[in-house]
Amino acid sequence: HVLEEDLRAAISAQQFELHFQAQVDAAGHLVGAEALLRWRHPRDGLVMPGSFIPLAEETGLIVPIGNWVLEAACNQLRAWQARSEARHLTLAVNVSARQFYQEDFVDRVMSGISQAEIPPARLKIEITESLLLRDLLDARTKVGTLRDHGVRCAIDDFGTGYSSLSYLANLDVAELKIDRSFTSKLDGADNQKELAIVQAIASLGRRLGLEVCAEGVETYAQYEVLRAARCNLFQGYLFGKPVPVDDLMPALTDQA
Ligand code: G
Ligand code: G
Ligand code: MN
Ligand code: NA
């Protein structure tokens, strides 16, 4: 059981790290990754976000933790920029409502980018539908300002929250991430509804000029269905679990 004081200690002891899950294109080429937070606990080993993010949100500690995530992501992008084989990779970070609605959130993002001297288009911000619901006006301003600076936002777990299609008309988001609850049923016998939903999201996204990422791709059959639906990014255990950076692109670390 995680306590607030444990979490505070973890921040000052710098016990957080990022793992990376590959994102590939329709040809199976690595095009980017999602950064996923882990807590390297001195006694309990690797602690997953489900065990501490809720408390971090409740206590507000998600703000300093999230700021660390942003900075670490920018630093990783900086390292990739120095390698010709990795220079094209994008990195997506998850952002909690509490962090996103801080007054200085956009400034934080932009100062992380400028300190790391990375192209803003390499960083993506993942937000959820429920986050948008909290203050649509502020969200719209923040998403728009980020986009003006070249930073793209993705709607995570798309289709599972209180989806309002008007978000898509009113927010300058760049990507939809189809929730894995749809993906996981695509190769089952009774897949008609999920298939229709995925095809509709993908074609809506295309018509709106958005990227469409399918999450939770575990089988080749799912990948084929999603490619046929014309999703353009794919993420899931088929391509790799979240791993430390050195395991994301082994070819990259061999040399150096
Ligand atoms: O693999 P996984 O257990 O890592 O991730 C579980 C959930 O934790 C994800 O759905 C994601 O939304 C959340 N999460 C992962 N990393 C972060 C992070 O850096 N910040 C926030 N706010 N949430 C994260
Ligand atoms: O941010 P988001 O809620 O999408 O977090 C991704 C979560 O989904 C992480 O916990 C990650 O470990 C998990 N995940 C990623 N790919 C797969 C997959 O192919 N199958 C399953 N079951 N979970 C996955
Ligand atoms: Mn995510
Ligand atoms: Na998701």
Domains and CATH numbers, the chain: 4-248 (3.20.20.450)
Provide φ and ψ at 36, rounded to 5°. Answer: -125, 130
Mean pLDDT of the chain: 94
Residue whose CA lies nearest to ligand 1 atom number 12: 94
Rounded to the nearest angstrom, the distance between the alpha carbon of 242 and the centre of ligand 2 is 8
Mean pLDDT over residues 97-117, rounded? Answer: 98
**28-66 burial: b if 16+ Cβ within 10 Å, else e:** eebbbbbbbbbbeeeeeeebeeeebbebbbeeebbbebb
DSSP state of 50: G
Predicted confidence at residue 67, as pLDDT, reads 97
The ligand 1 atom nearest the CA atom of 69: 19
Mean pLDDT over residues 47-58, rounded? Answer: 96
Predicted confidence at residue 255, as pLDDT, reads 43
Task: Lowest mean pLDDT of 147-161, 196-210, 238-252, name the range.
Answer: 238-252
In this prediction, the answer to ipTM > 0.95 reads: yes
Distance CA 223, CA 21 (A): 16
The ligand 2 atom nearest the CA atom of 49: 10
Answer whether 90 contacts ligand 1 (Cβ < 6 A): no
Counting ligand 2 atoms within 8 A of each CB, the residue from 95, 158, 178, 215 with the most, and so the one to mutate, is 215
- The ligand with the least distance to the CA atom of 73 is 1
3-state secondary structure of 226: helix
The ligand 1 atom nearest the CA atom of 21: 1
pLDDT digit string (tens) for 90-99?
Answer: 999 999 999 9
pLDDT digit string (tens) for 153-166?
Answer: 999 999 888 767 88
Distance from the Cα of residue 151 to its chain's centroid: 13
Q: Which residues contact 178 (CB under 8 A, 6 or more apart)?
A: 158, 159, 198, 201, 202, 212, 213, 214, 215, 231
Rounded to the nearest angstrom, the distance between the alpha carbon of 96 and the centre of ligand 3 is 11
Check whether 253 has a pLDDT greater than 60.
no
Distance from the Cα of residue 178 to its chain's centroid: 12
Angle between helices 105-116 and 136-148 (to 10 degrees): 20
- For residue 123, what are the β-bridge partners? 91
Cα of first residue to Cα of last residue in the chain, in angstroms, is 40
Q: Which residues line ligand 2 (CB under 6 A)?
A: 21, 36, 94, 156-157, 180, 215-218, 236-237, 242
- The ligand with the least distance to the CA atom of 158 is 4
Residue whose CA lies nearest to ligand 1 atom number 15: 36
**Taking Cα atoms as reference points, which of 144, 101, 103, 94 lies closest to residue 124?**
94
Rounded to the nearest angstrom, the distance between the alpha carbon of 215 and the centre of ligand 4 is 6
The ligand 2 atom nearest the CA atom of 237: 19
Residue 12 to residues 5, 61, 134, 160, Cα–Cα distance (Å): 11, 12, 30, 35
Mean pLDDT over residues 110-132, rounded? Answer: 97
Answer whether 36 contacts ligand 1 (Cβ < 6 A): yes
Q: What are the start-end ranges of the H helices in the chain?
A: 4-12, 53-59, 62-81, 97-100, 105-116, 129-134, 136-148, 165-170, 180-183, 192-207, 220-228, 245-248, 250-254
pLDDT band for position 56 (cuts 50, 70, 90): very high
- Determine the residue type at 195: L
Mean pLDDT over residues 115-138, rounded? Answer: 95
Query: What is the token pair recorded at 41?
Result: 């606990």
Distance CA 169, CA 155 (A): 13
pLDDT digit string (tens) for 3-29?
Answer: 899 999 999 999 999 999 999 999 999
Sign of CA dihedral 125, 35, 53, 75: negative
Rounded to the nearest angstrom, the distance between the alpha carbon of 241 and the centre of ligand 4 is 14
